[in-house]
Amino acid sequence: MTNPSILILPGDGIGPEVMTEVEKIIAWFGEARDLKFNVETDLVGGAAYDKHGTPLADSTLEKAMNADAVLLGAVGGPAYDDLDFSVKPERGLLKLRKEMDLFSNLRPAQCFDALADFSSLKRDVVAGLDIMIVRELTSGIYFGEPRGIIKEGNERVGINTQRYTESEIERVARSAFELARRRGNKVCSMEKANVMESGILWREVVTEVHAKDYADVELSHMYADAGAMQLCRYPKQFDVIVTDNLFGDILSDAAAMLTGSLGMLPSASLGAPMENGRPKALYEPVHGSAPDITGQGKANPIACILSFAMALRYSFDEGAEADRLEAAVETVLANGARTADLIGEEGVEPLSTSAMGDAILAALAASV
Ligand code: NAI
Ligand code: MG
């Protein structure tokens, strides 16, 4: 059997800086754990535009479609702000997500104990928090027709349409239930069935899928606005939350911030299974290209490193190795290692991007 393949797309700004640390970690797993990957690197975003005049070359897209997992850094930056909309760096990422049909966006909100005081909420509320928001990513109000700004009489009207088919709801619900079985076995589905027909159908389909194939998983339903309140009040009540594209956008950002810095947040976007049984998959930190700190060695590589941990778990079925990597991150944080974004008032000396990567490598080495 050939080694599983990873396509690395470092992108722009701090993307390449944090990806360098991930590449060191991938190499470590190859040497120390005999987990060999075929790694290929290519351009996306502004970097691709500079070379090819497009933020995603066809050849890159083809590589992504055939890779067992794609790892992306970040795209965009001030140098590209004046480009035409059609070739903006972000279009490269959007096209990748769309062509790969990545319908299930996994956004963990996990609070490492060492960073609990960094949250805007009380330590008790967030310490040990470990929830996963599953956001539907390919449909809903961001895509529904009709849309546009039209003229009605003498005023303008802005229109967007929330539209969900049964099969779109079913596939993301399945992905949430499967995920819950590997975690705390609980799913809370969020919509607004009280005021939206698409929410009524959402609740019906989730309930049907559950009864048919996932009765062993505990299922609850919540209106998304009530869910937002519960996320702030007592987030530890949740395990997996599944919701639509719009609510998921907002709820996952809110949940993520419970845990502190943008530099800590990974994500995965999964699609349908390929022939080898692995889902099409894109892993990326939640943060952007951070032009304000680019080239200064200040970027926190942990979000990107934890994205690779998600790849180990969800693309390569290496849950124990994913646990090992997450534990290494936890260890260095517990030992006081901090990049600049993780330092509040206390005046600790910050680690550089590469020093943080090296600290995690050392913790990995000590784990075997
Ligand atoms: P951003 O996430 O790049 O930065 C926001 C703030 O967080 C900045 O102060 C930055 O220094 C800090 N930050 C972000 N990641 C960090 C890390 N790993 N370590 C330490 N500090 C970190 O968002 P912003 O400034 O709104 O956007 C900058 C550019 O990135 C724009 O061109 C935007 O379009 C693009 N962007 C790209 C995304 C992607 O590739 N998925 C997502 C969000 C923005
Ligand atoms: Mg958002």
Q: Of these residues, 50, 213, 216, 225, which one is catalytic?
A: 225
If you average pLDDT over residues 285-289, what whole number do you get?
96
Return mean pLDDT, the chain.
95
Under CATH, to which class is 130-257 assigned?
Answer: alpha beta
Residue 167: band (very low, low, confident or very high) from pLDDT cuts 50, 70, 90: very high
If you average pLDDT over residues 276-293, what whole number do you get?
96
User: Is 12 known to be catalytic?
Assistant: no
Task: Check if 1-110+262-368 and 130-257 are the same fold.
Answer: yes
Q: Ligand 1 within 6 A of 342 CB?
A: no
If you average pLDDT over residues 88-100, what whole number do you get?
94
Query: Per the annotation, does 293 bind a ligand?
Result: yes
Query: Per the annotation, does 336 bind a ligand?
Result: no
- Among 262, 283, 296, 298, the mutation site with the greatest number of ligand 1 atoms within 8 A of its Cβ is 262
- Among 85, 282, 287, the mutation site with the greatest number of ligand 1 atoms within 8 A of its Cβ is 287
**Can you give the chain as a three-state secondary structure string?**
CCCCEEEEEEECCCHHHHHHHHHHHHHHHHHHCCCCCEEEECCCCHHHHHHHCCCCCHHHHHHHHHCCEEEEEECCCHHHCCCCHHHCHHHHHHHHHHHCCCCEEEEEEECCHHHHHHCCCCHHHHCCCEEEEEEECCCHHHCEEEEEEEEECCEEEEEEECCCCHHHHHHHHHHHHHHHHCCCCEEEEEECCCCCHHHHHHHHHHHHHHHHHCCCCEEEEEEHHHHHHHHHHCHHHCCEEEECHHHHHHHHHHHHHCCCCHHHCEEEEEEEECCCCCEEEEEEECCCCCCCCCCCCCCCCHHHHHHHHHHHHHCCCCHHHHHHHHHHHHHHHHCCCCEHHHCCCCCCCCECHHHHHHHHHHHHHHCC
pLDDT given for residue 144 in this prediction:
93
The whole-model pTM stands at 0.95
Q: Ligand 1 within 6 A of 262 CB?
A: yes
- Report domain extents, the chain: 1-110+262-368, 130-257
pLDDT given for residue 256 in this prediction:
85
- What ligand 1 atom has the least distance to the C-alpha of 11? 40
User: Is 358 known to be catalytic?
Assistant: no
Residue 266: band (very low, low, confident or very high) from pLDDT cuts 50, 70, 90: very high
Q: Of these residues, 12, 244, 249, 341, which one is catalytic?
A: 249
pLDDT at 346 over 90: no
User: Between 3.40.640.10, 3.30.479.10, 3.90.550.10, 3.40.718.10, what CATH number should domain 1-110+262-368 receive?
Assistant: 3.40.718.10
Q: Ligand 1 within 6 A of 93 CB?
A: yes
If you average pLDDT over residues 327-348, what whole number do you get?
89
Please name the residue whose Cα sits nearest to atom 25 of ligand 1.
Answer: 290
Residue 259: band (very low, low, confident or very high) from pLDDT cuts 50, 70, 90: confident
Report which of residues 208 and 120 the model is more confident about.
Answer: 208
- What ligand 1 atom has the least distance to the C-alpha of 340? 20
User: Is 192 known to be catalytic?
Assistant: yes
- What ligand 1 atom has the least distance to the C-alpha of 45? 40
